[in-house]
Amino acid sequence: MKNPMLEVVSLLLEKLLLISNFTFFSSGAAGEDKGRNSLYETSSFHRGDVLEVPRTHLTHYGIYLGDNRVAHMMPDILLALTDDKGRTQKVVSNKRLILGVIVKVASIRVDTVEDFAYGANILVNHLDQSLQKKALLNEEVARRAEKLLGLTPYSLLWNNCEHFVTYCRYGTPISPQSDKRKVPVLPQELTIPLQKNKSDSDDAGDRRQVHKRASHCEILEWKASISQTFQLALVSIRSM
C-alpha cells in the first residue's frame, strides 16, 4: 500500500526541482561539469580495488575495472523514463539522482574515474581497514561487479552503492553508513517464537506482528529517503 505522505512529499520535491529549471532529459545544468575534467593518477589503482569518494552527506563507492573505468551504483530518474542509452549513459546530474532515489530506480554502470569522483579525492580500499574484513581476490571482485551491470532497484537503507561494493569485495552486502540511519529494534521484536498447537488467534496475532515490523521498516526507509533527497535538493538548487 502506497504511503500518501511519501507521495505528497515526492510531488512537492519534483515541483520544486521543475521550478528550478530542471528538465528530465538535460545532460546537466551549467556548473554541474565542474571538477569532472580533473586528472587522476590511476597507475596505482588495481582491477578490483574499491574506490571511495566523499559526496554531499554521504560517501560514494565503486569498483575499479581497469583502463580508467569504475563500476558503481547510481540512482537515476531517466532509467524510469526512457530506454535511450544516449541519454542515460551521460553523467548523472544531482537532479536526476535525487528523483532516482525517490522512485527507487538505479543502475550499476561504468563511468570514467573522473566522472565517478566528480573532482573529489579518492580513497583506495579504505573499507578493508574500516570494516576489518578479508577481501576476495581482486579479479573475483571485478568479475562480480561486471556480472551485476545493469538496472537494479535502489534503497538508501537496503540496496545502495556501499551494499554493491561490499558484496563484490567481501561476499556480503553491508552498509555501515546506512545502518546509522536505522532505528535499532529490540531482539524480541525481530523474531516470532515457533509454538506447537497454536490457535488461529495466535496465528493472526503473529501475522499482525509481521505486518507491523514490515511497516516499521518502510517508515524508516521513507524517513531516510525524504531526509536525503531534501538535503541533495537544497544543495543542487543552491548551486544553480
Please list the active-site residues: 60, 72, 161
DSSP single-letter state for residue 172: S
Contact 57, 228 (CB under 8 A): yes
Residues 6+ apart with CB under 8 A from 61: 50, 51, 52, 72, 127, 161, 162, 164, 165
Contacts 24+ apart (CB under 8 A), 123-127: 123/51, 123/52, 123/53, 124/44, 124/45, 124/49, 124/50, 124/51, 124/52, 125/49, 125/50, 126/50, 126/52, 127/50, 127/52, 127/61, 127/165, 127/166, 127/169
pLDDT tens series, the chain, 240 aa = 455 555 555 555 554 544 443 343 344 443 444 445 457 889 999 999 999 998 777 899 999 999 999 999 999 999 999 999 999 999 999 899 999 999 999 999 999 999 999 889 999 999 999 999 999 999 999 999 999 999 999 998 899 999 999 999 999 999 998 887 654 544 443 333 434 455 555 555 544 443 444 445 555 555 555 555 555 544 444 444
Residue 115, classed as helix, strand or coil, is helix
Q: Are 104 and 74 in contact (CB under 8 A)?
A: no
